[in-house]
Structure 1
Amino acid sequence: MYTLVSILPHIHSKRHLLRNAEQLIYDLAYDSRKIRNAPHSLFFALKNVRDGHTFIPDAYHKGVRAFVVSRDDIDTTLYPEANFFWVKDVLKAMQELARYHRRQFRKPIIGITGSNGKTMVKEWLAQLLQEDKKVYQSPKSYNSQLGVALSLWNLSEDYDCAIIEAGISQPDEMDQLEEMIHPDIGIMTNIGVAHAEGFASKTLKITEKLKLFKHTRDVIFPSRYGFGKYLSSETRTFTFGEHDVDDVRVLRIEERKEGNSSIQVIYRKEKVTFTVPFVDKASIENVLICFTTLLFLGYSLNAIIHKLGRLRPLEMRLQLKTGRYNCSIIDDTYSNDLASLQIALDFLHQQQQHKKKTLILSDMDGLNDHLEAKLLSVLRQQNLHRIIMVGKSLHRLQDKLDTLLLSFDSTEELVRNLGNIAFENETILIKGSRRYHLEDVSKLLVAKSHETVLEINLSALEHNLQMYRSMLPPNVKLMVMVKAFSYGSGSYEVANLLQFNKVDYLTVAFADEGVELRQHGIDLPIMVLSPDEQAFESLLSSQLEPEIYSFRIIKALIDFLRIRKQKAFSIHIKIDTGMHRLGFLPDELEELATLLSTAPEIKVKTVFSHLVSSGNRQHDDFTIQQITMFSSSVDKLEAILGYKVVRHIANTSGIVNWPSAYMDMVRLGIGLYGVDMNKKMTLEKVSELKTTITQIKELPAGATVGYDRKGLLHRPSRIATVKIGYADGYSRRFGEGVGEMSINGQRVRTVGSICMDMCMLDVTDVAAQELDEVVVFPDWIEAAARIGTIPYELLVNIAARVKRIYFYG
């Protein structure tokens, strides 16, 4: 808790306007959509993909009265009750404030960095320490320049220690993070290929990451990476590895048939053996980092082994799943603290598919009176239909909240009573710490389905959206294609994210798709690409805007609207400039404009065309011809209509290659979903199709596999049957060794023909066992090329029976 006047010295403002110097500040805000405690929030107008200064009116309208800004052209008379700090760099000001706040925290802070495993080690360490300490951890992957500042702001003396994660992707980023975190103890996980493109060499990458520990006395790491030689001679190291000089010497690691590993180590001449439920090298290394850290912190070997016995794999991603009884389930059951709870609640309120929203919440570790007050404050700010609480210490909140409350002593009690609770047409957030095992509740509420799943990473989709948005001038609108089930990725789940990120338009192929979006709370303008006369009623009732591409359609629509006495109904005119698929030809526009100008029933919202080959430089002349033809055609149309329209012709590849075609709006399609056909963008993979191994057979040379005996084995082989076939959208063209899948990071080929619900893989040369996870398309572009098609076809052909699982973070 700070007052504005107490904050003033710590953000180095050039000037300020304090109308209420004693205003109390609890929260740091940077996104006007996520403001939750407006009267006590300090809003930072960050300049990133979008200029935060443009959202000051929205934040002020929501009740924010304190702003950190960098622009000098703000008319403060528009905000008569607001306080302003003018700074040179808004993000730097937030970091300086976070740095000051961290210095007030007198307990140990553990700083974690490395290429991979940072978040896993952080979560496991917190889980292991929370049995006897109150541990604060930075939420999820909040390890960036902004994320670290926000993480540190939640530090308080309620905690015994803190674990803060730091991540960088290019040189000169770690200095700022080190100044904020200033860790007392350091952990370096490993060095690998993550973000390697940002560094000139591996050495540069190591030295940059190790800057986090330039004022840290003790640093823990695996010795095999050789980090010690890069550290100051004054730094004390505590390592594990296979050498005599390691503090913890690893003698043996053995994989066992039960799917776990036995690890033998020696520490201070005492030899111990323990078992962990992992076999992959990354997880074992992360376990050993945690093991070594606990030894450094003074825990005995027996105590650590006892703790490790309860360690389990973590699903660290917030997941959105289809639930029973027409519900949506948000599963976030691996940790529970105030910071991660608020993130999950923000995601809950992005979901507009149901009006009712329910929170199932477990007890929080170390919940004292101060944290309870904070928890009550968070919950009172939510518009929840009901809260279901699990844990005895939460009972005392029952009389302090107005929301409908149900309370259970344990998860087992909730599970026993789940059938008596009416869940229907609502979005349910399940948020709990690991020891409450609320995943058991999630399993009962999630709809059962085919075991092959398509995982959709919503945070990757959001990243890709911002990548394309960053290329556009502020005045260019953004239309996003969500047709064909959002290229196989879902409908309202994707649309909700796009609506939250304030895109300007959505586009669907058919009216039914638009109607479904409206039924699930999407109120953005929606263009329908292929309307027919049977859909006119749906267009009108659901406020959908049709593409008009022929005289037949427009005349029928005008007649329909005239009967309904409808005026100025929004439409979009398609001009054919060379695709020769749909649209009015340029020599038809004069007749079209005359018709439009005499029909008050309709209003032209936008005029657009489609670039034929904007991603192929061989056809640049034709692209220029299209752009020129389109511009002159719209000029003529506007001249006759007597008003301006929104123009758009640039598709995804047009955004990348043709800034001259941006005009008033652009249309983003396949690029949003992580497929870069021109390989010019740093996009994140959005969709991953996964299945599992049902059975593995040992077969001799000469045996055949599958229908018509097409899979002839030329050697003794191990053949795995997996749960995906052409009924799921895995084309028969992938049969007979054409298709490649990935098991435990290793590629394997198909054997024989693809069946309706299954197919077979040759796993002779890889480590694989029954129930192992299988990635069906390790690379979407490569897989499409193998059967002579494009990634679009693979994505949109994934069957509806394949369960979609959405995760964020």
Structure 2
Amino acid sequence: MTLSIKTIEQILHAKRFGGVSNGTIDNISIDSRSLQNNEKTLFFALVGPNNDAHIYITTLIEKGVQNFVVTHIPDKCENKANFLIVDNTLEALQQFAAHHRSLFDFPIIGLTGSNGKTIVKEWLNFLLSPDFNVVRSPKSYNSQVGVPLSILAINQKYNLGIFEAGISKRNEMDKLEAIIKPTIGILTNIGSAHNEGFTNIDEKIKEKLLLFQHSNIIIYQKNSIVKALLDSNSKTFSWSFTDKTAAVFIILKPNQEGTVLQIHYVKTNFEVQIPFKEDASIENSISCLMVLLYFNYNIETIQNRMKLLFPVEMRLKVKDGINNCTLIDDSYSSDFQSLKIALDFLESQKQHEKKTLILSDIFESGLTNEELYSKVSQLIVANKITRVFVIGETISAFENKFPNCSSFENTKKFIIAYPNLTFGNETILIKGARHFQFETIVSLLERKTHETILEINLNAISHNLNFYKSKLKPTTKIMVMVKAFGYGSGGFEIAKLLEHHKVDYLGVAFADEGITLKNAGIKLPIMVLNPESTSFLSIIQHQLEPEIYSLKGLHAFLKIAEQLNLVHFPIHIKIDTGMHRLGFEEENINELISILQNTNLVTIKSILSHLATSDDLNHLEFTHYQINLFEKLSSKMLFELQINPIRHLLNTSGITNFPDAQYDMVRLGIGVYGVSNDLEEQKELENVSTLKSVISQIRSIQAGESVGYGRRFIANDSSKIATIPIGYADGISRAWGNGLGFVTINNQKAIIIGSICMDMLMVDCTKIDCKEGDEVIIFGKIPTVNEIAKKLNTIPYEILTSISQRVKRIYYRE
């Protein structure tokens, strides 16, 4: 896509100011942090409840971006770039995408539903790409922003589109329908996701069906609820397991390879083998089958292709690699749009200066090979990739376009060469089309650990951060606590994400935590909340900022500062307003002020205190006492020292319960990790951490036989027992055993029996269809850490921070 600024001005009905009108753009961006932004970028300055991209325009101009869609021109930016002024930048982006969609007249498949959209999209791409040039949504780009960005990837080389549309509340689908304009509609499974945005299930289904209001055909599983809500003029193509009046009637026959679908369609009966047994995959497979039938594929082709369907990995995963490497595993897809996303993710998560890309042939770009790999080269250069390994006959022919590049005809030849390749102290993005089997490369480069892992959902952290940001005034800064190894979630990885989101401060408990982050490349200011005097020298050397909470500590720090000839080194003063843990008490304030008035060795970066009962509204009087005392003492310091530092008092619960006490900054802790003690607020947060393991062994025991140390469990009946390789050395409390706790296996509860051992625990799986190697959820959505904490009479903090460092952390983005 290459368009002139003048043409875009007309499409958006915008008013243009500054710059010239005869420039062109070939790239759309909404992310100010992307290294792909350049002079050919059109940047839409989106405004949301938690962020206003107009504040990044000055920086973008400095980086060479010249074209912006804005609601206003920021101060001091006049005449420095082209500004297209509109009333609403998101609506302008959607309008621009809708215009782009109107230029093309080939079939577009539109997908909506609660579950299965991305999987059906990827499977349809696999099934149809031998016969069509397919353009599709990258990853799960199905939102009010994601859909227009997906549509803008269409070009003249494609002849079929597949796009997702996701909604969470009323009055959203009309906007997406105007952009996608699907000619073929598919309604996938309707579940409980986003129920809170609708009055009832009928309202949710009715809103989703708006995507298909101009479609030629609607494919869905026939049921009375959907049928009643469909427009009477809609043409449908339905399927069912129970209703023989559906266009396609299906009987399921499980077998060793998965499931056989017995198809009854237009007086034709035939069978299709699919490699799945679980209900969700079967339903998603049938949605794909229906498209093949609608396109009049012959039975043999349907049978041959459907049996080759595969599990879809929808997440970018961050893993620990060999030799201090970090791996970003995106080894199941290779298209141009998702490469752009993966490279942005690499930049947000890079843990080393050295960045390596392992890349396969790229398919379905809609471009000639010369055009495609020239664009790929531009991306790689813009993202400052240190070296590149390309794998595949096609991409290898263009290796001279890539910096520091080695090429291999196929994955097997890369693996043969692997012993002579050196990997160490680098971030490695592994991105390849599925048939290149890059999972074998991931296996080679991944650091080997035991089978228990803690998965960290980076999207959920971003969501939770934005949720709390939405409660703040625009001028309120935010410090996020990453102490205790990021509440068990990982220190650097979380810190890097927060830096990407431009939070103002990070908070750690001790100096060594901050030093680790600084050594890893974190540039955000880091406050050390509990510094010991023995760590002051290290704090200064690593440019950390200590909290000073006593006269003794202040004198000790000033002594070192004087020895080092420091001037105005930033410190933070803590006042004790009733927590009685750390801090200057009221009777010390005058002496504190006197000392600070007579030194220029330090500067007061902030004044803070800590609420003792911000989470318990039964203690409102005491909390207001603390707030008032903080106001009194901090104001006294501001007046007498003639300073204007940041003041902060509120923690996670305080943000919600005491919004009038935000002052200049808040300190967000457990909330960003998805935990709240407020039941209503908990519904708004997304689960961040999921602790997983596998079934090591299943055995059968008879009545009267025991399990585990001390024979604390004795079976009343014959039972089936599963052993899970996780125990108290991994951070699972022994008190969670003996029938109190449970794990989840195949969506069913399995009670923990007997004593939890150091390295394993046992569960009763008598009534669960499971096998050795099946996944086990220790905590996540079921059970939640809140649930475990309540039963153990403790707090979620303890559950999360207890998870041992020997448990491997895997970070992913949906």
Q: Is the 8 A contact 1:228 1:237 kept in 2?
A: no
Match of 1:791 among 787, 796, 800: 796
Q: Which consecutive residues of structure 1, in runs of 5 or more, have no partner in the other structure?
A: none
Q: CA deviation at 1:574?
A: 1.1
Q: Provide the residue aligned with 1:453 in structure 2.
A: 453
Q: Report the CA distance between 1:746 and its aligned residue.
A: 1.1
Corresponding residue number in structure 2 for 1:409: 409
Find the aligned partners of 1:35 and 1:319 in 2 and give their Cα distance.
21
Which stretch shifts more, 243-252 or 600-609? 243-252
Matching residue of 2:755? 753
Give runs of aligned pairs for residues 170-569 of structure 1, distance below 5 A: 170-224=169-223, 226-242=225-241, 243-254=243-254, 256=255, 260-366=258-364, 368-369=368-369, 370-401=371-402, 403-569=403-569
Asked whether the equivalents of residues 217 and 234 of structure 1 are also in contact (C-alpha less than 8 Å), the reply is no
| Equivalent in the alignment of 1:695 | 697
1:740–1:783 CA contact under 8 A, matched in 2: no
- What aligned pairs does 1:577-616 form with structure 2 within 5 A after superposition? 577-616=577-616
Q: Which has the larger displacement, 276-285 or 451-460?
A: 276-285
1:244 shift after superposition: 2.5
8 Å contact 2:61–2:80 — kept in the other structure?
Answer: no
C-alpha displacement of 1:621: 0.8
C-alpha change, 1:99 and 1:656, in structure 2 (3 Å) is same
Please give the alpha-carbon distance, in whole angstroms, between the structure 2 residues aligned to 1:358 and 1:209.
42
Equivalent residue, structure 2, for 1:149: 148
Q: Does 302-311 or 460-469 show the bigger shift?
A: 302-311
**C-alpha contact (below 8 Å) 2:390/2:399 kept by paired residues:** no
TM-score by length of 1: 0.97
Supply the distance in 2 between the matched residues of 1:536 and 1:378 (Cα, whole angstroms).
44
* 8 A contact 2:373–2:401 mirrored in 1: no
**Secondary structure at 1:156 match in 2:** coil
Q: Distance in 1 between matches of 2:350 and 2:225?
A: 50
C-alpha separation in 2, matches of 1:668 and 1:419: 46
CA distance in 2, matches of 1:426, 1:645: 39
The Cα offsets for residues 371-399 of structure 1, whole Å up to 9 and x where unpaired, read as 33432332332201011101100022222
Which runs of 5 or more residues in structure 2 are unaligned? none
Match of 1:67 in 2: 68
For 1:125 and 1:288, how far apart are their aligned partners in 2?
A: 11
8 Å contact from structure 2 (residues 477, 664) kept in 1: yes
On the 8 A contact 1:737/1:751 being kept in 2, the answer is yes
Amino acid at match of 1:545: E
Q: Deviation per CA, 1:49-91: give whole Å up to 9, x if none.
A: 11222222122222121221223x645x634241222212111
Could you tell me how far apart the structure 2 residues matched to 1:550 and 1:185 are?
69
Q: Residue 675 of structure 2 contacts residue 796 of structure 2 at CA under 8 Å; is this kept in 1?
A: yes
Deviation at 1:42, TM superposition (A): 1.4
CA deviation map 1:649-707 (0-9, x unaligned)? 00000111111110010000000000011123311000000111111112112211111
The code of the aligned residue for 1:3 comes to S
Displacement of 1:735 after TM fit?
A: 1.1
Say if 1:352 and 1:522, in contact at 8 Å, map to a contact too.
no
> Shift of residue 261 of structure 1?
2.7
**Residue 257 (structure 1) shift:** 5.2
- Work out the CA distance in 2 between the residues paired with 1:732 and 1:225: 50
In structure 2, C-alpha distance between the alignment counterparts of 1:495 and 1:443, rounded to whole Å? 27
- Which whole-Å CA distance do the structure 2 matches of 1:162 and 1:289 have between them? 16
1:619-630 alignment runs, 5 A limit: 619-630=619-630
- Return structure 1 stretches of 4+ with deviation > 6 angstroms: none
In the other structure, the counterpart of 2:806 is 801
Corresponding residue of 1:683: 685
The number of aligned residues is: 803
State the distance in 1 between where 2:350 and 2:577 align. 38
Looking at structure 1, the residues matched to 54 and 409 of structure 2 have their Cα atoms a distance apart, in angstroms, of: 47
Please give the secondary structure, in 2, of the residue aligned with 1:522: coil
Task: Tell me the SS of whatever aligns to 2:358.
Answer: strand
- Deviation digits for residues 387-416 of structure 1, max 9, x if unmatched? 110110002222223x10011111111122
SS in 2 for 1:78: coil
List per-residue Cα deviations over 1:319-348 (Å, max 9, x = no partner).
Answer: 000100100000011211111110100011
Q: Structure 1 vs Structure 2: percent identity of aligned residues?
A: 45
- CA offsets 1:301-336 (integer angstroms, 9 cap, x no match): 221221122221112100000100100000011211
Q: Answer yes or no: is the 8 Å Cα contact 2:638–2:644 preserved in 1.
A: yes
Question: Of residues 723, 726, 738 in structure 2, which corresponds to 1:736?
Answer: 738
The whole-number CA distance in structure 2 between the counterparts of 1:725 and 1:35 is 44
CA contact (8 A) 1:218 1:235 kept: yes
1:718 touches 1:762 (CA, 8 Å); kept in 2? yes
Measured after TM superposition, the shift of residue 134 of structure 1 is 2.1
The answer to whether structure 1 residue 84 and structure 2 residue 83 are counterparts is yes
1:207 shift after superposition: 1.1
Q: CA deviation at 1:143?
A: 0.6
Q: Which residue of 2 aligns with 1:120?
A: 119
Deviations 1:262-296 (A, max 9, x none): 33223333433343332211111111111121221
Structure 2 SS opposite 1:295: helix
Which SS does the other structure have where 1:494 is aligned?
A: helix
Partner-residue secondary structure (3-state), 1:34: coil
2: distance between equivalents of 1:261 and 1:803? 34
Equivalent residue number for residue 161 of structure 1: 160
Question: TM-score, length-normalised on structure 2?
Answer: 0.96
SS of the counterpart of 1:795? helix
1:384 is paired with a residue of what secondary structure? coil
CA distance in 1, matches of 2:639, 2:9: 56
Q: Find the counterpart in structure 1 of residue 54 from structure 2.
A: 53
SS in 1 for 2:323: coil
Check 1:507–1:225 CA distance in 2 against 1; reply closer, same or farther (3 A cut). Answer: farther
Residues 252 and 265, structure 1, Cα contact 8 Å, conserved in 2: no
Letter in 2 for 1:739: G
Note if contact 2:252-2:259 (Cα within 8 Å) is conserved in structure 1. no
Q: Once structures 1 and 2 are overlaid, which stretch shifts more, 244-253 or 611-620?
A: 244-253
Range moving further from structure 2, 453-462 or 116-125: 116-125
CA distance in 1, matches of 2:133, 2:433: 13
Shift of 1:537: 2.4
Mapping 1:616-695, distance limit 5 Å: 616-681=616-681, 682-695=684-697
- CA-CA distance at 1:35 after TM superposition: 5.2
The one-letter code of the counterpart of 1:806 is Y
**Partners of 1:555 and 1:128 in 2: CA distance:** 72
Cα deviation for residue 418 of structure 1 reads: 1.5
Whole-angstrom CA distance in 1 between matches of 2:124 and 2:376: 23
Preserved CA contact (<8 Å) 1:329 1:427? yes
In terms of mean alpha carbon deviation, does 102-111 or 648-657 score higher?
102-111
SS at match of 2:710: helix
Q: Is the 8 A contact 2:487 2:801 kept in 1?
A: yes
- 1:122 deviates by 0.8
| Secondary structure, aligned partner of 1:128 | helix
Q: Could you list the per-position Cα deviations for residues 19-64 of structure 1 after superposition, in whole angstroms to 9, with x for gaps in the alignment?
A: 3212111122222112514211112121101122222212222212
Residues in 1 aligned to 2:326 and 2:735: alpha-carbon distance in whole angstroms: 35
Q: Please say which of residues 725-734 and 677-686 is displaced more in the overlay.
A: 677-686
Write the deviation string for residues 129-152 of structure 1: whole angstroms up to 9, x where unpaired.
223332111011111111101111
The alpha-carbon deviation at position 733 of structure 1 amounts to: 0.4
Give the residue type in structure 2 aligned to 1:10: I
Kept in 1: contact 2:737–2:752 (CA 8 A): yes
Q: 1:781 aligns with which of 767, 783, 786?
A: 786
